[in-house]
A and B are shown apart, each in its own frame.
Chain A
Amino acid sequence: MLATAGPEAARAFIEIGAVALVLAALAGVAGRLGVTTIPFYLLAGLAVGKGGVAPLDVSADFIGLVAEIGVLLLLFTLGLEYTADELRHGLRTGLVPGATDAAVNFTPGFLAGLLLGWDVTAAVLLGGVCWVSSSGIVAKVLSDLGRLANRETPSILNLLVSEDLAMAVYLPIAAALVAGRGVGETVTTVAVALGAVTVILVGALRFGGQLSALLQRGSDEALLLTVFGLTLLVGGLAQELEVSAAIGAFLVGLALSGPVQARAANLVGPLRDLFAAVFFLFFSFQIRPGDLFGALAPGAALAVVAAVGKLLTGWVAAGRAGVGRAGRLRAGGVLIARGEFSIVIASLGAGLADGQDLGAVAAAFVLLTAIAGPLAARAMDSIPSTR
């Protein structure tokens, strides 16, 4: 088969190889600067996309499929991040900070969508984009700034857990809205999706141990393939039910716990990095640079409001843990960064009438908060404490 692949494949290999090397260089730069790679990948996607400086010939279908796998692996690892105990604890204690978080961060995004004249579905998606902090960036910033032992840190991490759980409810609703049929059918789809989520979540919390013990026995190779297969299979089935493949993958991640969780995270991590890079690239690949430029103003305005929203959230969450003024501000500052989840949510709406605009605003918004968030978090260290 390889021998007959012909000049088309050769051209594709050269292009993919070149793009991968550019991404590698960008990842290196990001690593040296100590910032996340997401904004860099988004900018790279812009450069190789429609109207960019070096448009690619490789079929968009191929990149699109790889990007879809990237979303699944990304959400699988996001679901994998927390143990069953942590989720249980999050369900019990995360209600007030979680609800505050949703209220002050989802609402401005939703209203901004309506103000931009979009339909309700696109506005709900922008609400989601605005809502969720990037657990990847937050965890990295906390670790880089040596704040893991700080007293506000558990409340920050617990908030990320409740956002994760909230996503298990939000994503099916958003997906059903995007599928956009009549009211009756949308309600049915949402009900089915939420039912499935509840069953899987309860099952994971109760029987996750057995599933994990079953998977734990095999070799690394077997585990990698099992986890990869399960993620794609469940994702595909979820898509068939019009629940969105992303949620299926996310739930597979939630269901794994115990020793197998750490092993799976280590094994899938490199694969996730590879596919997710393509996903971020593909996301902005579809955005015209002109659109992004036009979206900078609304994106920046939303970023300012969203920063205030997270400062409020941090203030409430850390305050409940008895943390002082400086710590409460630090908690808010570190939460400002949005990232992977926001892009996943925006990508759900790619097919909507306002999909192009939504993508552009989301990309601008994530670019700004992912860069400014960690800087703001760092700046909070200079706030004098009053206690």
Chain B
Amino acid sequence: MPEVSETPLPGVGVRHEFVTADGERVAVVTHRTGRREIATYDRADRDACTTVLHLSPDDTRTLAELLGASPVSEAVSAVQQRLEGLAIDWVTVPTGSRCVGTTIADGAFRTRTGASIVAVVRGGVTLPAPGPDHGFEAGDVVVAVGTTEGLAQLRDLLVS
């Protein structure tokens, strides 16, 4: 990863900057409002930025998704590339599930289904690689990788 430098912009927000592998400097200005601007710098005048892309908070999420920047999709695509034949599934733990209040270790999911829980998304926050003592809450979104059959079994266990 290239080094990212951060410069505060008083009254406006913050500017992050890095140099790409090709030697181009890229800046992202994050406004206090959540709006973002992406800029690259002029070759002749290194102090001036030339092209600027304006993004609303929603646009930023879309672009980040397209660039594969969200940690979960990044991890998943890495796993998928390495292991052909494996699938990924997202399971929401319902309110009435028997798993609510129990941990990953309690369920012994990998032993029983062969599928691995790679992340849990709770309230918009992603917990990558949760430990065996991670306890489930209703509404948790469980991200798991395994064979198709294994995932189906895991789904049954989580929702019942």
- B15/A139 in contact, CB under 8 A: no
Q: Which of A96-149 contact B (CB under 8 A)?
A: 135, 139, 142-143, 146-149
In the bound assembly, the distance between CA atoms of A82 and B42 in angstroms comes to: 30
Is A326 part of the contact surface with B, judged by Cβ < 8 Å?
yes
Is A152 part of the contact surface with B, judged by Cβ < 8 Å?
yes
- B8/A154 in contact, CB under 8 A: yes
How many residues of chain B have a CB within 8 Å of chain A? 22
Task: Knowing A323-B47, A327-B47 are in contact, say whether A146-B52 is a contact too (CB < 8 A).
Answer: yes
- B29/A89 in contact, CB under 8 A: no
Contacting residues, chain A, for B41 (C-beta < 8 A): 149
- B8/A85 in contact, CB under 8 A: yes
Contacting residues, chain B, for A312 (C-beta < 8 A): none
- A150/B12 in contact, CB under 8 A: no
Q: B71-92 CB contact bits vs A (8 Å, 1 = yes)?
A: 0000000000000000000000
Majority secondary structure, A binding face: helix
Is A340 part of the contact surface with B, judged by Cβ < 8 Å?
no
Min Cβ gap B118→A in Å is 33
In the bound assembly, the distance between CA atoms of A108 and B12 in angstroms comes to: 30
Min Cβ gap B51→A in Å is 9
In the bound assembly, the distance between CA atoms of A89 and B12 in angstroms comes to: 15
- B10/A161 in contact, CB under 8 A: yes
Min Cβ gap B133→A in Å is 33
Is A86 part of the contact surface with B, judged by Cβ < 8 Å?
yes
Residue of A nearest to B17 (CB): A149
Is B104 part of the contact surface with A, judged by Cβ < 8 Å?
no
- Taking a contact as CB atoms closer than 8 A, the residue among B9, B15, B44 that contacts A385 in the complex is B44
Is B48 part of the contact surface with A, judged by Cβ < 8 Å?
yes
Contacting residues, chain B, for A146 (C-beta < 8 A): 37, 39, 49, 52
In the bound assembly, the distance between CA atoms of A229 and B127 in angstroms comes to: 44
Task: Knowing A148-B37, A385-B44 are in contact, say whether A139-B49 is a contact too (CB < 8 A).
Answer: no
- 8 A-B pairs (CB sep. < 8 Å): A81-B11, A86-B11, A146-B39, A147-B49, A150-B48, A154-B7, A327-B47, A385-B48
Partner-B contacts on A (CB < 8 A): 81-83, 85-86, 89-90, 135, 139, 142-143, 146-154, 157-158, 160-161, 262, 323-324, 326-327, 330, 385, 387
Closest 7 CB pairs of A and B: A327-B47, A385-B45, A149-B39, A151-B47, A86-B10, A149-B27, A149-B49
